[in-house]
Each structure stands twice: as structure tokens, then as C-alpha cells.
Structure 1
Amino acid sequence: MDSHEESAPTTTAIATDLKLADLRTALSAGWADFVALPAYGLCIALAFVLSGLAFSYLLFMRGEYVWLIAAAAGFPVVAPFAAVCLYEVSRRRERGLPVNWGVVLQAVGGRGDEQILSMGVLLFVAFSFWTIVAHTIFSIFVVEAGAGSETLEFLATTLGVAMLLVGGIAGALIALVFYTITVVSLPMLVDREVDFLTAIITSLRAFRANLVILLCWAVIIATSLFVAIVSLFLGLLIALPVLGHATWHLYRRVVQPQD
């Protein structure tokens, strides 16, 4: 049997014994959901692919290559919100409930209490914060480099590489913070009638209790999204839905079922 934390009645019990095998199981279950109901994952991912390509084209035509990199690096911050509908697909398939676009899209509104929308606002603030950080880092290196620092060639210089390194570290730290508060909270808000602060606290507790395994899951997500993005976003057609469905199943393993 899975071990769970002893908790007060008002506190959600969480598993403390996650193993690497659980990540493989979650990915396998996520793939099964995607294969069984591919239209939902493909359509949701396609919307993000087209948005990403359009935004990238706009920045590229304006010669704002650095901002293209910053936008791509900030994608993991907002990606969890894109998976909300996928959580609902997995939830309904798991329980044998009918699945259609009406009920799937309603998942964005949560359980009628707008808690998921509140999380969406929080993620938007996070992305905006990352944009400010990226702009600050870019400005510092532009002043240091002087004229010509806004060209693509600048990225191949010592200062350009240093800027990418500093920006990458800053982006990774921001993404990690928001990963810790969303990895359990967003699927929990789809699954249960709880407020978003309770869901965030549960997510933080789960991350602390299973630090190594959930860090491994973060690496898997980040690596998959990176490969998907550098393939002109086309890899997102597979990576986003499979990871979304898999995250649902990992949540079901972490959070104790309600009586």
C-alpha cells in the first residue's frame, strides 16, 4: 500500500513514497489517454503551436531575436495552465464519464468557483515577471556590449553567451518556483472543490515530501518542452498532451483519494 502523511481532517493527505517507477507509470498512462482520445490533446497543442509560431514570426521579422529566446524560455511558466483541459479529459476517462468539448472546455472555469482562473492570473503575473527579469538582464548586457548588441551575431559573442547563461538560470529558477506550486494544485482544482491557496499549499507539501522524484519530473518536463520548442514548436503536438495527461496520473498517485 502507498504510504501517506498523517494529517488533520482539514489537510489533504499526500504520498511520501514516490519512486522513479511512478514517473514511468504516469507517462505510460498519459500516452494511453492521448492515444485513446487524441483529438483533445492535438487541438489544444495545435492552438499553442500556432500561437507560438505566429509570435515567433512577429519577433523574427522585427529582428528581436533575444525576445524570441526569452519568450520560448518563459513557456514552461504558462504551459501548466494549457493542460487544465487535458486533466479533465483524463479525469473523465478514468471515471468512465462521457467526454466532449463542452465539459472539457468548462474545466478552465474550475468547479464553478473561478479558482482555476485565479491560478491563471497568477501564472500570467509570473510570465510578466519573467519578462521584466529578461528585459533587465538584456539591458545590462546591452549597456556592457554597446552598439550592435541587438543583432543575432551578438548571441555568439562572449557577452551574448553570458547573457543567455544568466537569463537561463534566472528563467529556470522562476519556472521551478511555479512548477512547485502548480504540479499538484492545478489538477487538484480540476478534481476537487478547494480554494487555490489550499491547492498551492498541498502542491508545496507534495514537492517537499517527494523532492528528488518531483525534481526528476521537472527535468523530464523541461527537457521534453525544450526539444519540442526547438523543433519549431511541432514537438508540442505530442509532448504537451502526453505530459498533461501524465501529470494528472502523477497527481492521482500523490494525493490521497477522497472518501
Structure 2
Amino acid sequence: MTKTIGNPLTWLAGTTASASRSASDAADALGSEITTPPEVRQLDMDDVRTALRKGLADFTAFRSDVFFLIAIYPVIGITLALLAFNSARLPMLFPLAAGFTLLGPVAAAGLYEMSRQRETGQDPNWAEALHALRAHVLGPVLVLALYLMGIFAIWMFAATYIYNITLGPLPPLSVTGFLSDVLTTTAGWQMILLGMGTGFVFAALVLVISLVSFPMLIDRRAGIPVAVMTSVAVARRNPRIVATWGLIVAVSMTIGMLPAFLGLVIVLPVLGHATWHLYRAAVPKER
């Protein structure tokens, strides 16, 4: 029988039913029948070097696709910087840039999927990678991303509070005046030390809960609780390696912000692919 388009009410009903099924699948995927995280491996510096080498190889293989995938990242960074200047929120520029890196694991979700497909012998592109983030994957990833965005918001609130009790609460009159106050006054150095100490806590928290959780959610139907517990288990068993990895990420992202966040076009995909391979080294494949 020839299939016709049908009337608008029929189309609307079909579209609504399809959306409902997708939403239901995404909601069901937030949990998992698995109640305990898998065993995790002991890591060493060879695993870190191997992950970085494989990450660079993936970046080279997917260069054009990767550029497209993460093009929005430096654009958002530049937008945030301009917003800080235009809204007289200059003191928040550095916290914005530093806190923005907390969202890196979210931006790298498509990169994890591309690395996953490549290790199975496929030759994926960005469209296939995004298509693979279907409902049972996308739901948990988005929910965990919301948690990271919440941490980012709390960090910005903390940074504002630190500025208010040191150099604030009035905004600076000029860029040069602000830099002078930051670098040559006691209050400025108090702001730097308090900000760096608080930022370290936020960065460590995000590193521990997201190091392997995002790759794991893409790799298997583990559910958010198990994925986060697995990430914590990796950090607990490998504190020195995880701390080293965090330092590598922090330094690389800092370099990548120069000039004007555009270096992230290279840094982010390499780190994203490398994080997938570090996950593979830390968490055994499903049998």
C-alpha cells in the first residue's frame, strides 16, 4: 500500500509519540542494572604517555572533523571574555576562563565517541559520532553535564564573593588600574591566593568525578551513579597519576587559551581523545 503524508493531526501525533519514546529511553538510561563499579587498573606514567600519543594520533586522523566539532568552544570563550569587558565585570574574566575549563569533558563527548569507533576499526566522521550519541547515551551525558554546569555556577559565585571581600565590591575603573591593584596590593594578592586555592578545590572535584565517567557513559550503559563511582575509584587507586593528569590538563588548557582561546582548537581535541585512551587503560573492557 502506498504510504501518504496524512493530515497535520496525524503527523503531530506521530512526532509527539516519537519524542516521548526518546525522552523515555533517555530517562531510563539515567540508572543502571549494574550496582557496583567495575574493577579499575593501576596506572603509571607509561599509560599517561600512551594516552597522549594515541590522542594526538586520533587528532591527526580526524583533523578536519575535530576542528568542526570543537569550533564552538573558542567562540564561547571569546564571547564570555567580551561579556566580562562590556558588562564592567573585568574581575570575573579570569574566573570565567578558568571555570570554563570545568566544562571541557562535556565539549569532548563527541571526541570520545570518535575514538571509540576508531579503535574498532571504523573510520567515523563528526556526523556519525554525534548520531551515535543516541537517547540512552545522550540522556546521562546531559544530566552529568548539568551537574558540571552547576559546579561552574557555584565557582563563579565563589569567585565573585572573593573579589568582593578583597578588592571589591566596586568594579575597577580601568584595566591597567585593576592589574595594578591585583599585583601591587595586599588585597590583590589575597584575592589571587584565595582564588587559586578555591579554584583548585573545584578543579579537583570535577577531575575526580568526570575523568572516566563521561567516556564510560558513552562506552556502556552503566548509568550515572556507577560511572561516577568508577571515576572516583580510578582517582582513589591512582592519586599520583590522576593528579599528574590534572596538571597536564590545566597547563595545556592555559596555553590553549592563548591567543584569545583559539589554541583550544588544538588542545581540546588532543586532550579529549587522550582522555578516552586513559579511560581504556584504567577500566577493562566489558566481557
Same fold (TM over 0.5): yes
Q: Unmatched 5+ residue regions in structure 2?
A: 1-33
AA paired with 1:170? T
1:60-209 matches, cutoff 5 A: 60-106=85-131, 111-112=136-137, 114-143=139-168, 149=172, 151-152=174-175, 153=177, 154-158=181-185, 159-209=187-237
Check if 1:236 corresponds to 2:264: yes
Query: How many equivalent pairs are there?
Result: 249
Q: State the TM-score, normalized to the length of structure 2.
A: 0.81
Report SS of the residue matched to 1:96. Answer: coil
Partner Cα separation in structure 1 for residue 235 and residue 35 of structure 2 = 20
Identity value in percent: 35
Mark the CA change 1:194 to 1:9 in structure 2 (over 3 Å): closer, same or farther. Answer: closer
Measured against aligned partners, the alpha-carbon deviations of 1:29-75 in whole angstroms (never above 9, x if no partner) come to 00000000112321233211111112212322333221111101102
Query: RMSD of the alignment, in Å?
Result: 2.0
Partner Cα separation in structure 2 for residue 178 and residue 233 of structure 1 = 21
Partner Cα separation in structure 1 for residue 106 and residue 126 of structure 2 = 17
Report SS of the residue matched to 1:114. Answer: helix
1:81 Cα deviation from its structure 2 partner: 0.7
Mark the CA change 1:122 to 1:106 in structure 2 (over 3 Å): closer, same or farther. Answer: farther
The list of structure 1 runs, each at least 4 consecutive aligned residues, that deviate by more than 6 angstroms after superposition, is: none
Contact 1:142 1:150 in 2 (8 A): no
Q: Considering only CA atoms, is the larger Rg found in Structure 1 or Structure 2?
A: 2
Mark the CA change 1:258 to 1:66 in structure 2 (over 3 Å): closer, same or farther. Answer: same
AA paired with 2:199? G
Aligned equivalent of 2:247:
219
Q: Unmatched 5+ residue regions in structure 1?
A: 1-7
Contact 1:92 1:99 in 2 (8 A): yes
1:113 Cα deviation from its structure 2 partner: 6.3
Q: State the TM-score, normalized to the length of structure 1.
A: 0.89
Aligned equivalent of 1:14:
40
Contact 2:88 2:171 in 1 (8 A): no
Measured against aligned partners, the alpha-carbon deviations of 1:193-252 in whole angstroms (never above 9, x if no partner) come to 011111000000010101101110000000000111143212101110000000000000
Aligned equivalent of 1:4:
none
